[in-house]
């Protein structure tokens, strides 16, 4: 396997060097826009379009502006609150349903699972209009409930958790049931603590998806107080079309929490995409 032929070895080495250059080039293409966003958000209005990477006049004013003149603090809070509530409630409900579908025996189990699985095929933008009608009928337009409740229900999480529970050691729950624990106690004291790794991995993705959600919050709210950061930045941008120093500070505020999440949980996220994407 090891190259005994020096010519072949050298050729392989140049090949690898070429591939490394290609990888560097691709990374620059993906990273440059972010770098540009970061440095431009520290430029003044006069220099934001000067085409230089390093700001000639460095200023924090853009960030001060979006938090004082525009209510970005509130929008950030709304995004955090909505995303966090959806994530926690969704994981709780999904793990309960998934546990029952994977481990409890009852008539019609496979039928119910197939039905839930079928909803995976329905993509969100397609049901946007009728979902809006349903939520309007329930009187949840322009409320936190309207932002939160419809976003909780998603078969993807149930599906992944069910896969996880199918591979669970049965002995533990059996022992607990035989000892006279109710199914609820088994779930709460045995199953839930043991699902912490998968729940935390899913939590990252749920939070990410809801933090970045744009279309549903746009449709369901008109009250400026209920704006989430993504719709707020879009609206702010359309109102101040040439003040890119402010807009970019806004996009930084909207993007930074997810970049931070990514930096901290990168390995975990990559691993869970690898397993969940296919199984």
Partner 1 sequence: MTSVAAPGRARETDTAAPARPGRNRMSRKHREWLAAGLFILPDGLGLLLFVGIPMLLSIVLGFFQVSGFGSYEWVGFGNYERMFQDPMFWESMKITGIYVVVLVPVLFCVSLALGLLMKQRLPGTGFFRTALFLPYMISLAVVGLLWKFMLDDQVGVVNKSLHALGMDGESWLGEPALALGTVIAIMVWVMMGYYMIIFLAGLQEIPSEYYEAARIDGAGPWTQFRSITWPLLKPTSFFVLIMSTVAAMTGGLDLIFTMTQGGPANGTSLAIYYIYTQAFGFGEYGYASAMGSFLVLVMVLFSAVIFKVTGSGRFDDDR
Chain positions 70 to 129 lying near partner 1, rule: CB under 8 A, are 93-94, 96-97, 99-101, 104-107, 109, 112, 116, 119, 122-123, 125-129
Nearer to partner 1, 119 or 143 (CB): 119
Question: Which residue among 215, 225, 239, 264 contacts partner 1 (CB under 8 A)?
Answer: 215
Question: Which residue among 8, 9, 10, 27 contacts partner 1 (CB under 8 A)?
Answer: 27
Nearer to partner 1, 9 or 134 (CB): 134
Using CB under 8 A as the binding rule, whether residue 261 contacts partner 1 is answered as: yes
**CB < 8 Å & 24+ apart, contacts of 197-202:** 198/160, 198/161, 198/164, 199/91, 199/95, 200/268, 201/268, 201/269, 201/271, 201/272, 202/91, 202/94, 202/157, 202/160, 202/161, 202/272
In the chain, the DSSP E strands lie at none
Using CB under 8 A as the binding rule, whether residue 13 contacts partner 1 is answered as: no
**What does the DSSP 8-state code read for residue 154?**
-
CB of 157 to partner 1, least distance (A): 9
Residues of this chain, 127-186, that bind partner 1 according to CB under 8 A: 127-135, 149-150, 152-153, 155, 158, 170-171, 174-175, 178-180, 182-184
Task: Give the CA diameter of the chain.
Answer: 76
Question: Which residue among 13, 26, 64, 166 contacts partner 1 (CB under 8 A)?
Answer: 26
- On whether the CB atoms of residues 63 and 41 are closer than 8 A, the answer is yes
Distance CA 118, CA 35 (A): 42
Using CB under 8 A as the binding rule, whether residue 20 contacts partner 1 is answered as: yes
Using CB under 8 A as the binding rule, whether residue 1 contacts partner 1 is answered as: yes
- On whether the CB atoms of residues 165 and 102 are closer than 8 A, the answer is yes
Question: Which residue among 65, 165, 211, 246 contacts partner 1 (CB under 8 A)?
Answer: 211
- On whether the CB atoms of residues 95 and 199 are closer than 8 A, the answer is yes
Segment near partner 1 (CB under 8 A); pick from 15-23, 54-62, 64-72, 195-203: 15-23
- On whether the CB atoms of residues 97 and 154 are closer than 8 A, the answer is no
């Amino acid at each position: 396997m090891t190259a005994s032929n020096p010519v072949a070895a050298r050729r392989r080495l140049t090949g690898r060097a070429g591939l490394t250059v290609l990888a560097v080039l691709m990374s620059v293409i993906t990273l440059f826009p972010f770098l540009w966003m970061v440095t431009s958000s520290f430029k003044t209005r006069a220099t934001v379009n000067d085409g230089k990477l390093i700001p000639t006049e460095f200023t924090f004013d853009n960030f001060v502006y979006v938090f004082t003149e525009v209510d970005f603090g509130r929008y950030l809070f709304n995004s955090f609150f909505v995303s966090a509530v959806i994530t926690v409630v969704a994981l709780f409900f999904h793990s309960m349903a998934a546990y029952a579908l994977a481990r409890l025996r009852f008539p019609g189990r496979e039928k119910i699972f197939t039905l839930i699985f079928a909803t995976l095929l329905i993509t969100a933008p397609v049901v946007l209009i009728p979902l809006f009608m349903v939520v309007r009928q329930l009187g949840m337009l322009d409320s936190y409930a309207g932002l939160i409740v419809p976003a909780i229900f998603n078969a993807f999480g149930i599906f992944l958790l069910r896969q996880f529970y199918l591979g669970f050691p049965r002995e533990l729950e059996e022992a607990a049931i035989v000892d006279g624990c109710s199914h609820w106690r088994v779930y709460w004291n045995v199953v839930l603590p043991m699902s912490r790794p998968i729940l935390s991995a899913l939590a990252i993705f749920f939070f990410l998806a809801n933090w970045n959600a744009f279309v549903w919050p746009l449709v369901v709210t008109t009250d400026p107080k209920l704006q989430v950061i993504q719709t707020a930045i879009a609206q702010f941008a359309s109102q101040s079309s040439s003040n890119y120093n402010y807009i970019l500070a806004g996009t930084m505020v909207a993007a930074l929490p997810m970049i931070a999440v990514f930096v901290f949980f990168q390995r975990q996220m990559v691993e869970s995409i690898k397993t969940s994407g296919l199984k």
